[in-house]
Each structure stands twice: as structure tokens, then as C-alpha cells.
Structure 1
Amino acid sequence: METKTLMLPSPSSINQIYTELGTSETKLDLDVKILKEWMRKQPHLPNPDDDEKIIDEKRLKTFLLICKNSLEKTKVMLDQHYTIKLSAPEYFSKWDPTSPEIVKIMKLFCYVPFPNPTHEGHRVILHRIKTEDANNFVYDDHIKLIFMSLDIRVAKLDTYNKEIILYDCNNLSMNHVAAIIPNIKKVFESVFAAFPLRLHGIHIINTNSFVNPLINLSLSIMKKKVAGRVINHKSIEELKNYIDPSVLPLDYGGTYPKTSDEIIDDWHIELKKHREWFITQSSIVADNSKRPINSNNHLDNAMEGSFRKLDVD
């Protein structure tokens, strides 16, 4: 579903994505039917036929695409997606974009997709603290806003090839870093259990020396292949060497006819339009009391001991 805040890749770009993954719109529709039938047979997972707990077919298609058209990998991710919510309610419960807590964190932080995709169909995401003042910054709420934005893209609003993260450290203070580091283990475990992700690149700008421990910790989690896609830029101007200017807003050296603040405001309005959907989604979780004995909970290995290397393509 294309909106004014999120333009989809061109039909030719989408067809190219399908071709690279060996699928098509017809095959995706067939695979979605297979996944829904599989979910009906999993008593611990939400029933896709339940009118009160709508399972968006768009979510199933997006999971399939990001899982490289593998039904088995998609089944694992769907199981994890609904199960991880039980382990991290501070991130996945009470999703209401109009609540005082979320409205406040929207003023302090953003995790926002840029409206235009790249020519390859990648989606660029801006991750930025909006003010150096960390006194009112609630870490769990900022993670919740990330997951809300990611979830509605996956389930309703977006089609894309891979993700490109633009991490702007301009207002990141020592107090922010101090709040992030102790929690980063659970956040990484949660996001990569809940969502399949394919990262094309991570571009970091406006760093300071005290941000380095956070960057180094993040790099230590990543597989070498993924860590090699992290670029710490000396200036915003360098971004145009990696991201088409038509995607970047005016204040990031691009030609998209809005500033990042205008794009952020538009996206937050978009989130608020889907308030009822968010409230419903945050209540859809697995019921492990109904999990069959022979059902393998893949989170057992992912969430215990030292956390896994960042496993994204």
C-alpha cells in the first residue's frame, strides 16, 4: 500500500527483486496460502482466520522476500516474531502512537524511512537523536518506536530489497551512550529474532570520540561480512557517493524536496493514522502453553549465553 510518505520501488525494480529471488507475484500468493495453512496447524501461533487478530498477508509476503523466498526460514521467523514479544514486553506491548510516552519520544528521537527508495529498491532509514538533552530520554520507549516503525513497514506500507541505515550521531551525548550500552544485548537479540533483515549498508556520520565504544561493541556483534558494510563518514557530502541524491533530503546533501525534519513529521503523522492497527498488533503474541512438544523454539539458542553474531545478509 503506497502512501505519500513512502513510495514503493518501480514495477521494474520489484520484478528484478522477484527475479533475483526466484519468485513472482503468483508464487508469492501461493506461498502465502501455504504459510497461512501452516499457521492454522500451530496452536501456539495466532490463527490467520481470526477476525479479531488480523494477520496481514503483506507481512507474510515481506517475510518471504527478506528470507530469500525460503518457506522454512520464513516459518522460523514467524514463530520467533510472535514468541519474542513474550520475552520483551517493554518493546512490544502497549503500541499506541498517540500515547504520551510515544509522543514524547517522537520529539527526542527518530527512526524514519526516507520516502524514495534507491534505484535498486533499497530503503534508507534515518536513525537520529534529535536533541543532546537526555534527561527525558526513555530508552525502552525509543526502542519501542523503532519496532513500531519497522513493523508497519513490513506488514502494511513497504516493499523493498535491502535496508540502508543512516546513523546520524550529531546529538548523541555521553548520557545517551551510557543508556544504550547496557541494553544493547537484549535489543539486538530482540530485533533479529522478531524481524528478518537484509542490510545493504550502515552509514555513520557526525561521530565523536565517546561514540566509538558503542560503534566497536556493535561491530563486535556483526559477522565480518556485515561489519565490512559499515562506513564511518568524515562528512555528509560523502553520502552522495553511496546513496543517490534523489533519496536524501535537502539537509543531507540530497535533492529530495524536503528536509529531514519535514520527513520525520510526515512519518509520525503516518504512524498516528494507524493507531488502531498498532494497538491490535501489540496484543498478537504466541501462547507457549499451547506449543506442541515437538515444536522447536528457535529462541532458546538465540537468547541464552553470549548473543549471536548479527546474522543478516
Structure 2
Amino acid sequence: MFYLEQPSPDQQVLIRQALNEDVNTRDKDLEAIKEWLRKEPHLPDTWDDAMLMTFLRSCNFSLEKTKRRLDKYFTVKTIVPEFFTECDIARPEMQTIVNALEIATMPGMTPEGRRVHIARIATSDFEDFDYNYFARVIFMVADVYLKSEKLGSAGEVYVLDGENYRLKHLLKLLPIFAKNFSEFLPEAYGGTAGKLKLHWDKYLAAFEDFKPWFKEQENIKADESKRPGKTTSYEDCFGLHGSFRSLAVD
């Protein structure tokens, strides 16, 4: 079972301050969002309370910002369903992706209550792949993380190893991260948190554990035919004309 180490009591105080979270009003805010969902004809009537609370936290408990973010989350699942369906890493196309990546949320938190995430392409010949499956894996990681986050975090630290992205200058940043976050970095990055592959394997195991949940989520999305006013298009969501399928990535 995928597990995120939860913040200490002192970190929880810092996190609540950073997220503008009031323990006396957060349940009221949650109920307000649930009531809003029930009234929006194009959105799911109900959803996981813990996920809704995670969205509230990510929006610093701004109800309007939370509504906009939830609307976009459910709408994207309708606009690009190929990113959110058949989330089974046993599929050969998915195996190509997960065998080439290593993505991890590292154990523990920084003293300020931030999570540390690391991502890398683990092979230098990762060329021939389907972008839709790549995006699907990334969204699966995001959903597992959101689903597993219980108390929120005061922020996120992202480390992108660019060696196999042909952006080797990014590696110059690693000594800075190693100096300040060595407790949370893998051994290969000058840290003490074990091997990156070990932490990626935790996500892979979670994908199997979450398989029924992923299947259930395929139908929890916006219904654009019921949206009041103008329907949302691909361009509205991404600000791009055309499709990700037409992008040429060098």
C-alpha cells in the first residue's frame, strides 16, 4: 500500500498557516464545495471528501479558486479522456513508459513542511513512445499523490533530473539541492534516502492497488452537454490550438 509519511505536530502547525487552514471552519468549507457540486449540472454530484479537502488546501481555502480548479480537473478528463482511461500499467504501451521513468515522492518532509519530488528518465534511448500513455502515467502519479495526502503540505520541491532530457545544464542545480535537502534526496543525488528506483517502485505498486479506483474515476468527470452557457473546448482548457498529438518534441 502506498504511504506518505505524515507531518509532525510542529509541521502541521506550519502547514495550516501556509495553507490558510482554520480547523474550526474547514468542515464548513468542505460542505460548501459539496453543495456547489450538487448544484452544478455538468459536474459529478459527489466525490471523495478527502480529495475535495486536498483541493481546498491547494487553493488556500479560497472557495472560488477551489471551484475553478475542480471544474477544470473534471473538464480535462472529458476533453482528453485518453489521458485518464485504461489506467493499467500491465498494458504493453504503459510498460514502455513505466520502465523508462523513475518518479518519487521522497520520505518525510522538510522542516517547513514541504514535500520533495524527484523525476528522471532512466534510460538514454527513450525516444519511441506514445505521448498519450506518457501523460496517462503522469496523471496517475498525481492522482495517487493527491489521494494519499492526508494533511496537506506547505509546498512542493520538484527536482527534475535532466540528464536524459538532453538538458544537462540542469544537473548543475543538483549540488544546491544536495546541500539543502540531502536528507530527502536519493543516494545518486548526494542524499541519504536510498535509491530512486525503490521509491518509484512504491508508485508502481500503488498503481496496482489503485486499479479499481482509477476505473471508477473514469466516469467521474464533467458532462459538457449539461454545462450552463458555453461548453468548454480543448483550447479553453489548455490555451492551445490543435492537440497534444500533433506536438513534435525534439
**Do they fold alike, i.e. is TM over 0.5?**
yes
- Judge conservation of contact 2:4–2:148 (CA < 8 Å) in 1: no
The match for 1:275 is 211
Q: Is the aligned partner of 1:249 residue 2:178?
A: no
Alpha-carbon distance between aligned partners in 2 of 1:13 and 1:298, rounded to the nearest angstrom: 41
Change (3 A) 1:242 1:79: same
Mapped to 1, the partners of 2:223 and 2:120 lie a distance apart of 35
Against the structure 1 CA distance between its residues 280 and 169, is the aligned structure 2 distance closer, same or farther, given a 3 Å change threshold? Answer: same
Corresponding residue number in structure 1 for 2:246: none
Query: C-alpha displacement at 1:165, in angstroms?
Result: 1.2
The equivalent position to 2:37 in structure 1, one of 14, 36, 39, is 39
Structure 1 equivalent of residue 131 of structure 2: 139
Change (3 A) 1:74 1:141: same
Tell me the distance in 2 between the aligned counterparts of 1:76 and 1:297.
Answer: 13
Unpaired runs of at least 5, structure 2 = 242-250
Cα distance in 1, alignment partners of residues 78 and 195 from structure 2? 38
Pairing 1:167-186 to 2, within 5 Å after superposition:
167-172=160-165
- Shift, 1:305, TM fit: 5.6
Q: How big is each residue's C-alpha offset from its partner over 1:156-192, in whole Å with a ceiling of 9 and x where there is no partner? A: 345322221111122235xxxxxxxxxxxxxxxxxxx
Provide the rounded CA distance (Å) in 1 between the counterparts of 2:199 and 2:240. Answer: 40
What's the counterpart of residue 154 of structure 2? 161
Aligned: 1:152 with 2:144 = yes
In the alignment, structure 1 residue 21 sits paired with structure 2 residue 40: no
Which residue does the alignment assign to 1:208?
A: 168
* Shift in alpha-carbon separation, 1:21–1:167, aligned structure 2, 3 A: closer
Alignment RMSD: 2.5
Query: SS at the partner of 2:88?
Result: coil
Cα distance in 1 between the residues matched to 2:131 and 2:238? 20
Matched, 1:93 2:85: yes
1:262 to 172, 181, 198: 198
Query: How far apart in 1 are the matches of 2:89 and 2:218?
Result: 12
CA distance in 2, matches of 1:252, 1:16: 27
Give distance in 2, aligned partners of 1:171 and 1:135.
10
Cα distance change on mapping 1:150 and 1:170 into 2, 3 Å: same
5+ long unaligned stretches in structure 1: 49-54, 174-206, 210-231, 307-313
8 Å CA contact retained: 1:95, 1:282: no
TM-score (norm 1): 0.69
Q: Does 1:7 align with 2:5?
A: yes
Deviations 1:211-230 (A, max 9, x none): xxxxxxxxxxxxxxxxxxxx
Contact 1:117 1:123 in 2 (8 A): yes
Task: Calculate the TM-score normalised by the size of structure 2.
Answer: 0.85
CA deviation after TM superposition for structure 1 residue 235, in Å: 6.1
Q: Deviations over 1:214-262 (max 9, x none)?
A: xxxxxxxxxxxxxxxxxx452633322332x211122211122x21111
Q: Give the distance between the partners of 2:24 and 2:91, measured in 1 at CA.
A: 40
1:59 Cα offset (Å): 1.2
Supply the distance in 2 between the matched residues of 1:71 and 1:149 (Cα, whole angstroms). 26
Look up the SS of the partner of 2:188 in the other structure.
helix
Contact 1:249 1:259 in 2 (8 A): yes
The answer as to whether partners of 2:72 and 2:237 remain within 8 angstroms in 1 is no
Asked whether the 8 Å contact 2:19–2:58 carries over to 1, the reply is no
Partner of 2:28: 30
